[in-house]
Amino acid sequence: MMLLHTLCLMVCVMPAMPLAAVVGRRLAVAQGAAVVLGVPKSASALPVIGSVPKIPRESRQRLNQDLAVVLMRSSYNATDELDFVAMDKFQKDFFLRRQNKWEDYRNDVKKATGGSSVMQGDLGDPFYFDFISFAQYDTINFELEKPAAAFEELRTAEGETEVVLRSNDLKDSQLPDEHANRVGDAILDFIVDRFKDVDTTSRDLDTNINQLLKWLIVLGFADDLSFIFDGSNLQARFLGPANLWSLQALKGRKLTNDFAAKVLAAYLRRNPNVVSFGTPFSQIKGPASTLFCSKIKLRPPLV
């Protein structure tokens, strides 16, 4: 189990390595006042951003290593569990796609920051996390273009393979949403288990969602948070998030690394008092991302 757990993180936290070393299946890889919020109707309302956004100039706080690993591992595990690509193929594609962009990205960071270097494998560095998370989701989107329903998957370095058949429960079009749900659930589990003070059964969404997002700040996901909830619509502004560049670079793709939206959606799905809610999404402007969620509806209180 420890070997599998280690292999999962190799492509994220270590320099380039031989592809043969990465094989196997299922690798363990402040409360705001009541106001009316202007919430864009959908992610399609976001401004058009170039495919290669500018590298952030501002320094950002370091990302907690445990959270960084959860974000990367849960995204990998969701890909593996959904069985739409052989994971040895995914590892190979991930390796090639990240290596193809790494030198250009590293040079762009030096230019944008006046000489700051990015050490490959340092997940706590928001510049590196921004890049490796982009590369991971860029690869996942590549595999989602033609998701496989049946494939042969390499299981061992000795060449043993296994035929994998994807469940008929999910259509191809449902894979991105299911992937996002599983990643959000994993992030929520991590925060709830670690801090114990986020109540997923409370009617007090204002307090508990605010606390949930504040723990992301404590864990270094962003530098600061401003939060407003009017009982139906929510806005949360993250200053200097760790995915500031990559979220822009992935704009328009089937699946993005909008981790704040994923964990918020997970909380709202899990809370038995929530009847329905609009799809959460984030919008980038300058050095910040703003998380929007509209039409959050609670069940009537029991008399």
* HSE value, Cβ hemisphere, 13 Å, CA-based, for 260: 36
Bridge partner list, 260: none
Bridge-based pairing state of the strands 274-276 and 150-154:
unpaired
Question: Cβ(259)–Cβ(187) under 8 Å?
Answer: yes
Q: What is the distance between the alpha carbons of residues 234 and 252, in angstroms, rounded to a whole number?
A: 22
303 within some domain: no
49 within some domain: yes
Q: What is the distance between the alpha carbons of residues 235 and 90, in angstroms, rounded to a whole number?
A: 35
**Buried (b) or exposed (e) across 67-93, using 16+ Cβ within 10 A?**
bbbbbbbbbbbbbbebbbbbbbebbbb
Per-residue pLDDT, 12: 57
- The one-digit pLDDT tens for each residue of the chain (303 residues) are 333 344 445 545 544 333 333 333 333 233 333 333 444 444 333 333 335 688 887 789 999 999 999 999 999 999 999 999 999 999 999 999 999 999 999 999 999 988 888 999 999 999 999 999 999 999 999 999 999 999 999 988 888 999 999 999 999 999 999 999 999 999 999 999 999 999 999 999 999 999 999 999 999 999 999 999 999 999 999 999 999 999 999 999 999 999 999 999 999 999 999 999 999 999 999 999 999 999 999 999 887
CA distances from 281 to 52, 200, 270, 291 (A): 20, 20, 18, 6
* Residues shown for the chain: 303
66 within some domain: yes
164 within some domain: yes
The number of distinct structural domains making up the chain is 1
Parent domain of 118: 2-298
Q: What is the distance between the alpha carbons of residues 78 and 168, in angstroms, rounded to a whole number?
A: 17
Instruction: Report residue 72: phi and psi, to 5°.
Output: -75, -45
pTM of the predicted model, to two decimals?
Answer: 0.84
